[in-house]
């Protein structure tokens, strides 16, 4: 086998996804649901891959947990262009006298559903195909739901999708048109998750293992390879809007996987952004700073019971991943940033005027984070800032109309 899974808690080795699925996605020895993939592969080949053009993240097949290329389900996702947005550089110079490079990772250009979730969905569909999985279920705030619906349809896998009642109509229509089984919860995202878990139990259907799901992490870690291929180096700062937290977990995994062989690959300062209408991680972080990162700080965070936000894909009120994400942010020297939901349209409007790109609301949260980082003096002269805009406005027509 080219890869294996290792339990993060007890170190037990799980030979492949076949055994991982058979054990209901937990470690057969200790029951932990947190496992990581390692490879028996020569990493020197990576530098060769950096020199050639890539059609998708499958360019890095040797470092992905799939044995047979015939099982790949792809719509050309992951190898998306990183653009330099000069108007943001000019703004930093004019307003704060900061010379920085601002690069934007355009997830709206992903070939599946124009979101950051396409790579994970492509990876999942391919792994399921290889391991004979016929049915799957997932709870999602929107983007993951649509991406998994599309890719699993392509692989002939039946998907039951549980979404919160605040889900937007465009998402509902798209999932139904893909022929998947959509269940709109009577409550918020937490309720949808509970309903999915019940369905998983009573029907013995495999369910997404959440933000630490090794499938999602392995797909998204290829971001690190793409930064190296397209920029020739790692950015100094990585900004992303955060709901669950797979993005930062994946960046950290990608860096850890290759940093010993390639010392130039360093973890960027990770800056995670939430809008003020649903910002439990920011609150948890502020609390940690106030208490000097006392022991166990990462386990203390608020739960926002009914987040009143129009950014439905960033509506995780219970930030269960904070204990994993916060230490990664701390290790990186980064921070959490709060932005105003009321300002999102303005930032997205400027982006549209300056670049022609129509961002979705969550991508606008990420962009607003750049302005906030400048205001909080978190960006310094000479730094390269990478903004990961998670999505376009394809399923946020109301938001797009306001632009
Ligand atoms: Zn274990």
Mean pLDDT, residues 49-64: 97
CATH number at residue 378: 3.40.50.1100
The rounded distance, in Å, linking the Cα atoms of 351 and 148 is 28
How many angstroms does the Cα of residue 29 sit away from the middle of ligand 1? 5
How many angstroms does the Cα of residue 46 sit away from the middle of ligand 1? 30
Range of the domain at 373: 82-109+215-402
Q: Assess whether pLDDT exceeds 80 at residue 394.
A: no
Residue 35 lies in a domain: no
Mean pLDDT, residues 196-216: 94
The rounded distance, in Å, linking the Cα atoms of 98 and 377 is 10
* CA nearest to 81, candidates 61, 55, 117, 45: 55
Number of domains composing the chain = 1
Q: Which pair of tokens denotes residue 247? A: 């993005």
245: left (phi over 0), alpha (psi -120 to 50) or beta: left
How many angstroms does the Cα of residue 322 sit away from the middle of ligand 1? 21
Residue 393 lies in a domain: yes
Residue 337 lies in a domain: yes
Residue 41 lies in a domain: no
* CB-proximal residues (5 Å) to ion ligand 1: 7, 9-10, 12, 27, 29-30, 32
Residue 6 lies in a domain: no
- H/E stretch holding 148 reads helix 143-154
**pLDDT at position 378:** 98
How many angstroms does the Cα of residue 327 sit away from the middle of ligand 1? 21
Residue 320 lies in a domain: yes
**pLDDT at position 398:** 84
pTM of the predicted model as reported, rounded to 2 decimal places: 0.95
Residue 69 lies in a domain: no
Q: Are 363 and 392 a contacting pair, CB within 8 Å?
A: yes
Chain segment 148-176, per-residue pLDDT in tens: 999 999 999 999 999 988 888 888 998 99
How many angstroms does the Cα of residue 11 sit away from the middle of ligand 1? 6
Chain segment 286-331, per-residue pLDDT in tens: 999 999 999 999 999 999 998 888 888 888 889 999 999 999 999 9
* CA nearest to 100, candidates 397, 390, 401, 377: 377
147 pLDDT tier (thresholds 50, 70, 90): very high
**pLDDT at position 306:** 86
How many angstroms does the Cα of residue 9 sit away from the middle of ligand 1? 5
How many angstroms does the Cα of residue 33 sit away from the middle of ligand 1? 8
**pLDDT at position 143:** 83
194 pLDDT tier (thresholds 50, 70, 90): very high
Residue 365 lies in a domain: yes
């Amino acid at each position: 086998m080219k890869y294996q899974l290792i339990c993060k808690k007890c170190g037990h080795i799980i030979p492949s996804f076949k055994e991982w699925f058979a054990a209901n996605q937990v470690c057969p020895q200790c029951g932990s649901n947190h496992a990581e993939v390692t490879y028996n592969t020569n990493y020197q080949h990576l530098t060769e891959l950096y020199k050639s053009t890539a059609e998708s993240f499958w360019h890095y097949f040797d470092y992905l947990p799939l044995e047979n290329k015939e099982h790949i389900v792809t719509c050309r996702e992951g190898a998306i262009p990183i653009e330099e947005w000069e108007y943001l550089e000019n703004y930093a110079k004019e307003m704060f006298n900061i010379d920085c490079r601002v690069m934007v990772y355009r997830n709206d250009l992903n070939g599946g559903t124009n979101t950051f979730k396409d790579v994970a969905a492509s990876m999942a569909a391919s792994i399921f195909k290889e391991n004979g999985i016929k049915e799957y279920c997932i709870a999602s705030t929107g983007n993951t739901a649509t991406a998994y619906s599309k890719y699993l349809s392509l692989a002939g896998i039946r998907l039951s999708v549980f979404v919160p009642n605040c889900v937007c109509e465009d998402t509902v229509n798209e999932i139904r048109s893909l022929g998947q089984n959509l269940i709109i919860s009577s409550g918020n995202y937490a309720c949808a998750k509970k309903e999915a878990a019940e369905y998983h139990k009573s029907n013995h259907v495999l369910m997404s293992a959440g933000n630490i799901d090794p499938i999602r992490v392995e797909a998204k870690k290829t971001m690190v390879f793409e930064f190296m291929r397209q920029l020739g180096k790692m950015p100094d700062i990585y900004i992303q809007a955060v709901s669950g937290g797979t993005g930062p977990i994946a960046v950290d995994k990608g860096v850890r996987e290759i940093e010993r062989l390639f010392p130039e690959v360093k973890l960027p300062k990770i800056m995670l952004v939430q809008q003020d209408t649903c910002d439990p991680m920011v609150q948890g972080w502020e609390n940690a700073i106030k208490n000097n990162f006392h022991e166990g700080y990462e386990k203390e965070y608020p739960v926002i019971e009914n987040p009143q936000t129009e950014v439905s894909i960033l509506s995780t009120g219970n930030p269960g991943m904070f204990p994993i994400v916060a230490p990664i942010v701390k290790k990186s020297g980064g921070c959490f940033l709060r932005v105003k939901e009321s300002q999102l349209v303005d930032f997205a409007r400027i982006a549209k005027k300056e670049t022609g790109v129509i961002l979705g609301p969550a991508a606008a949260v990420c962009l607003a984070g750049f302005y906030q980082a400048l205001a909080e003096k978190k960006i310094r002269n000479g730094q390269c800032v990478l903004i990961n805009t998670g999505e376009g406005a394809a399923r946020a027509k109301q938001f797009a109309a306001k632009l």
